[in-house]
Amino acid sequence: EGRLEESGGGSVQPGGSLRLSCTASGATINDVDKGWYRQAPGKECELVSSISSNGRTWSADFVRGRFTISQDNAGNAVNLQMNDLKPEDTAVYHCAAAKHLYGGGSCLFAQQFGLWGQGMQVTVSS
């Protein structure tokens, strides 16, 4: 069974940048939507950004203009460039791949019907 392998998390000061990457292993995901989710302590899991199989992108209001989602030409990897990071961006970030995820698939939907990465900690603190 395929899985998603994530990299790029870590700690950064406010205003800094990080780039998250996610690659499929043992599965092909170029024909499904991809997304990045996050969950902060005590808060619900939320969709941050998503990209459809044909390249349309969507981002939540709270990251629009700061985060950019992209995928490689083959569609088997998805990245999240995060700029101007804020302390409220601190969370565990997960990548996901599933049909019908673009624009609003919930965390539970992605976990149940697609591939779900194990998650990476992103900490924004001075």
Confidence at residue 58, expressed as pLDDT on a 0 to 100 scale: 95
Distance in angstroms (rounded) separating the CA atoms of residues 119 and 38: 8
Confidence at residue 104, expressed as pLDDT on a 0 to 100 scale: 81
Element (H, E) at 12: strand 10-12
Tokens representing 117 are: 């990465």
Q: Which residues contact 118 (CB under 8 A, 6 or more apart)?
A: 6, 94
Confidence at residue 103, expressed as pLDDT on a 0 to 100 scale: 76
pLDDT of the chain, 126 residues: tens digit per residue:
799 999 999 999 999 999 999 999 999 999 999 999 999 999 999 999 999 999 999 999 999 999 999 999 888 999 999 999 999 999 999 999 999 888 788 999 999 999 999 999 999 999
